[in-house]
Amino acid sequence: MDKREMTNEENYHFDVTGYLIIPGVLTPDQLKACNEALDQLGNTASPSCVSSCAGLHFLRDHPVLTQYVEAICGEDFLLDRSPHLLEVNTNGSEDARVPLSGGSEWQDWSRAYRHHSGTRFCQGLRAIWAIADVNEDDGGLVVVSASHNSSVDAPQDLVSGDDDMGLVVQPTLQAGDLLLCAESVMWGIRPWQGQGPQRLLECGYISAGVRPSAASEITGEDDTMPEWTAELTPVQRAVLHNPNRGYPPPVVHSDGKTVSLSAEPGILHPSIYKRDPDSGIDEKEFFHWDLCGHLVLRGVMDADWLAAANEAIDANPDQISTGGSAAGDSKPLAGTGVGRSSMGNPWQLPAPYGEPFQRMIAHPALIQRMNWIMGSGYECMMCNGFLSGKGSSGHALHANGYPPRVANHYRQQNGRVYSEYLNVAWQLRDVTLADGGFVCVPGSHKTHYPMPDGIRTCDNEMDMVRHIEMKAGDVLLFLASAQTHGAYPWTGEQNRRMIFFQYRSRNLYAP
Ligand SMILES: [Fe+2]
């Protein structure tokens, strides 16, 4: 079989989001055969019944699938789980929510996703065949995009489904599509609201050398230990290799002087650190920042402040300059040729007009976040008003986690995030999708692949470019050099009113 090189677009999508949809892999005849096989098995078929159905076996060996698995998991990959129907949850009530599982913290190396020294390790991969369509809002399978690259504990509200934090994605699929999903991506099954049955058949693959799922089915009851081990203590026997050992394995405790066997098997892996409830960091904000590379602080400015800032701009039209396009060679971002308007240094406007902008420089809500986002010692480098009118161009997407540079360095380690350049955008008016404005690729600050040209120009967004809706008074923070970002053309009736600041960490210097 030919070895498949994934395109940069495919690598970028899988690396940023943790999943990839390959459209239209199954032919109509193959789909018909699958649906007939499933009809024959009936809706209540057991997983083993589906797995052993000969008519579905071709799904696990499909050449398109195996070529992708080889590219992602490595050439000695193994089939870990035969095709089985994803759990169907047809009780439409919210109570029927199943908590999300997975996510990269804590890391199960046997299923982890990681880049190291130029090599991608994707140790577990779910391959999900859509045998019937899954439309928008159908429910069923959901994922948290980019969570395979998260090294932060997911907030409990997100796991339980009480707060999806705007992060839970329900992939839409057409019958015949193939969804590939890193096994460490957070995922879950939401109540099914679709018209027909949810028909998603999943197979699992693993890299060579890691624990297969079947290990969890071993009961450990058939003792195959050699005779000489009968004299050993239970602890010694628990630690000795046993080909028939169950999973999770036995836990042995020790205080350094004595050892004891835990009554229940499980995982013990102590950490030197404890979560600090007094850190002053909101755990949802921390998770969101690390996952996406941006954060919106809601309602920081009150009505009086907003009025003063807007009035300051209205009263100083002579300070507004109009330039050209920032769309580059992008057609979708070109607008209708109206120049982009801006106001340089609004904080320098004559009194009383500069004050509403000076208040933004070191606002407590901002300082509180910047202290954990960058560590102290940051400097505010610039302030600019983005005031473009209807028809003005957007901004071609730029910045990315790759190629790595000093200024786009981003890392989370030991409960701290390290960010070197931060952009802060204060919204003086509501911004909806109909207005245009700021867009970004959440998770792109961690990618190891170049930004595809279609993302840069928005000619091919690959369902990865996100427009961020905001209200007047909200403040957007984003990784200036690391998160891929830009702007749609301004299409709002009222001019854009965004005040833009840039902060540099204490670690950088540019003469
Ligand atoms: Fe930028």
Residue 423 lies in a domain: yes
| Cα 488 to middle of ligand 1, angstroms | 13
Q: Distance of CA 61 to CAs 50, 85, 137, 345, 367, Å?
A: 15, 17, 31, 61, 54
| Cα 160 to middle of ligand 1, angstroms | 35
Burial class (CB in 10 A: 0-12, 13-18, 19+), 32: exposed
The answer on pLDDT for 510 being more than 90 is no
Residue 295 lies in a domain: yes
pLDDT of the residue at 244: 84
Question: What's the domain range around 291?
Answer: 283-504
Q: Are 224 and 243 in contact (CB under 8 A)?
A: yes
- Residue ending a domain, among 170, 190, 215, is 215
CA 64: distance to chain centroid? 25
| Cα 486 to middle of ligand 1, angstroms | 6
| Cα 485 to middle of ligand 1, angstroms | 6
DSSP helix/strand/coil, 51: helix
| Cα 150 to middle of ligand 1, angstroms | 24
Q: Are 145 and 17 in contact (CB under 8 A)?
A: yes
Q: Distance of CA 212 to CAs 48, 72, 80, 165, Å?
A: 17, 17, 6, 33
What would the pLDDT profile of 260-294 be if each residue is shown by its tens digit? 999 999 999 999 999 999 999 999 999 999 999 99
The verdict on 318 and 396 lying in the same domain is yes
Residue whose token pair is 């036995």: 250
- Residue ending a domain, among 164, 185, 215, is 215
| Cα 145 to middle of ligand 1, angstroms | 23
Confidence band for 4, pLDDT divided at 50, 70 and 90: confident
CATH of residue 416's domain is 2.60.120.620
Give the type of residue at 487: A
| Cα 487 to middle of ligand 1, angstroms | 9
Residue 254 lies in a domain: no
The verdict on 199 and 289 lying in the same domain is no
What would the pLDDT profile of 94-122 be if each residue is shown by its tens digit? 555 678 998 888 778 999 999 999 999 99
The verdict on 290 and 209 lying in the same domain is no
| Cα 482 to middle of ligand 1, angstroms | 10
Give the type of residue at 451: M
Please tell me the distance from the alpha carbon of residue 43 to that of residue 35, in angstroms, as a whole number.
11
- Residue ending a domain, among 193, 215, 237, is 215
- Which bin fits 446, alpha (ψ -120 to 50), beta or left (φ > 0)? alpha
Residue 257 lies in a domain: no
Q: Are 447 and 389 in contact (CB under 8 A)?
A: no
Strand blocks (E) in 173-311:
178-182, 187-190, 200-206, 252-254, 259-261, 294-297
**Which pTM does this prediction carry?**
0.95
| Cα 396 to middle of ligand 1, angstroms | 9
